[in-house]
Amino acid sequence: MIGLSHNAQWVLLSTLILGTAAGIMGCLAYWKRQSLMSDALSHAALPGVVGGFALMGFKNLPVMIAGAAVSALIGALLIHWIRSSSRVKEDAAMGIILSVFFGLGIMMLTFVNRMAGASQSGLDSFIFGQAASMVRKDVLMMIVLASIVLLVAGIAFKEWKLFLFDPAFAKGLGMSTRWMGAIYMGALVLVIVVGIQAVGVILMAALLIIPAVSARYWTQSFKWMVVLSALFGGGAGMIGTLISTYGKGWPTGPFIVIAAACLFVVSLAFGARKGLVVLAVQQYAQRKKLRRTTFVQQSALERGS
């Protein structure tokens, strides 16, 4: 794009792809009733990121991403374990894991920041996201991982639909719901750990939740909901990154989230399916029709009497 450095163009491309992948996975999470789960997972990734850094002593992205994936998966397992082995409900379990892991991550960050070279590492940028700090190698990795997610969602589209709508029936047809669940969780964690560098652990969930919810206002078809959610996510990623490049050291995450939120507000108001404006117009038309018919009935009655 005009006026953007070569690096900034790469960054823009990567947040576009990231947003697209997050939009798709967010759509699956929405129908698995696990929107909040994505928030818990992204917070749970922080200790892994910091741990990965401490392990190497310098910023090595693959190791840190692996660390993030491990700690997010541990978080997911713990949530599952708490829910299935105690009376604690899933939302409470997620609340516990989310805050404890995030607290642990911040605590580790405080210690690690005292290590030599850590203060310049940009480790803090994992909290709010700093897409501009990414170099070409990071961007390439992001593109590869996000493409895997796109592929997983694309080739098994019919299977995802059945898995989300009626898992018991899917099982009866011989589909391994256990495997589908594992692949879903793996892809979700992948999007999160890839995305936290650009969006940050705190706001990553917004990129998963908001596009899907916005898309719901426009369509009655699952296929189109996924496509729209991908477009919204990609659009928000790109717009947010573009805005953040105008300032020096502006974090990308908040701008991406605000861009997504704007798309949501537009959807809420003007969405073709149950958008507020559409509902109001429909209601007005109904009322007008009702008034007219009552008027006709009344005048007929009066004529009759």
Partner 1 sequence: MLPVINVNQLSASYRKNKVLDRVGFEVRPGTMTSIVGPNGAGKSTLLKVLLELHPKLSGTVSFFGETYAKAKERIGYVPQRGSVDWDFPTNALDVVLMGLYGRIGWLKWPKKLHREKALEALDQMGMADYASRQISQLSGGQQQRVFLARALIQDADLYFLDEPLAGVDAATERAIMDTLKLLKSKGRTVLVVHHDLQTVEDYFDHVLLLNRTVVAHGPTADAFTRENIFRTYGGTLRWMEGLSG
Q: How far apart are CA 238 and CA 62, in angstroms?
A: 24
Residue 175 lies near partner 1 (rule: CB under 8 A): yes
Q: What is the DSSP string of 2-37?
A: TT--HHHHHHHHHHHHHHHHHHHHHHHHHHTT-HHH
Q: To 10 degrees, what angle do helices 35-44 and 204-216 make?
A: 170
Residue 183 lies near partner 1 (rule: CB under 8 A): no
Residue 204 tokens read as 């990553």
Residue 120 lies near partner 1 (rule: CB under 8 A): no
Backbone angles phi, psi at 80, to 5 degrees: -60, -40
Residue 232 tokens read as 């919204």
> Across the chain, how many H-helices and E-strands are there?
14, 0
Q: How far is the CB of 221 from partner 1 (least distance, A)?
A: 6
CA dihedral over 50, 53, 59, 64, signed as positive or negative: negative
Residue 158 lies near partner 1 (rule: CB under 8 A): yes
Longest dimension (CA), the chain: 97
Whether the CB-CB separation of 180 and 159 falls below 8 Å is answered with yes
Residue 179 lies near partner 1 (rule: CB under 8 A): no
Nearer to partner 1, 120 or 220 (CB): 220
Residue 97's CB is within 10 A of a number of other CB atoms, namely 22
Residue 172 lies near partner 1 (rule: CB under 8 A): yes
Residue 85 lies near partner 1 (rule: CB under 8 A): no
Options 159, 186, 261, 275; binder of partner 1; rule CB under 8 A:
159
Map residues 20-39 to x or -, x wherever contact with partner 1 holds by CB under 8 A: -----------x--------
Q: How far apart are CA 139 and CA 10, in angstroms?
A: 7
Nearer to partner 1, 273 or 288 (CB): 273
The span of 102-110, 142-150, 153-161, 292-300 binding partner 1 (CB under 8 A) equals 153-161
Token look-up 């059945």 returns: 162
Site for partner 1 in 200-239 (CB under 8 A): 216, 219-222, 225
Q: How far is the CB of 165 from partner 1 (least distance, A)?
A: 5
Residue 148 tokens read as 């895997």
Residue 85's CB is within 10 A of a number of other CB atoms, namely 8
Beta-strand runs (E) in 56-215: none
Q: How far is the CB of 271 from partner 1 (least distance, A)?
A: 13
Q: How far is the CB of 263 from partner 1 (least distance, A)?
A: 18
The span of 13-21, 173-181, 188-196, 246-254 binding partner 1 (CB under 8 A) equals 173-181
| Contact partners, residue 72, CB within 8 Å, separation at least 6 | 41, 42, 44, 45, 48, 189, 192, 193
Nearer to partner 1, 27 or 189 (CB): 27
Nearer to partner 1, 58 or 165 (CB): 165
Q: How far is the CB of 283 from partner 1 (least distance, A)?
A: 17
Residue 100 lies near partner 1 (rule: CB under 8 A): no
Residue 81 lies near partner 1 (rule: CB under 8 A): no
Residue 282 lies near partner 1 (rule: CB under 8 A): no
Q: How far is the CB of 232 from partner 1 (least distance, A)?
A: 15
Which residues in this chain contact partner 1 in the complex, by CB under 8 A?
31, 155-156, 158-159, 161-162, 164-166, 168-175, 216, 219-222, 225
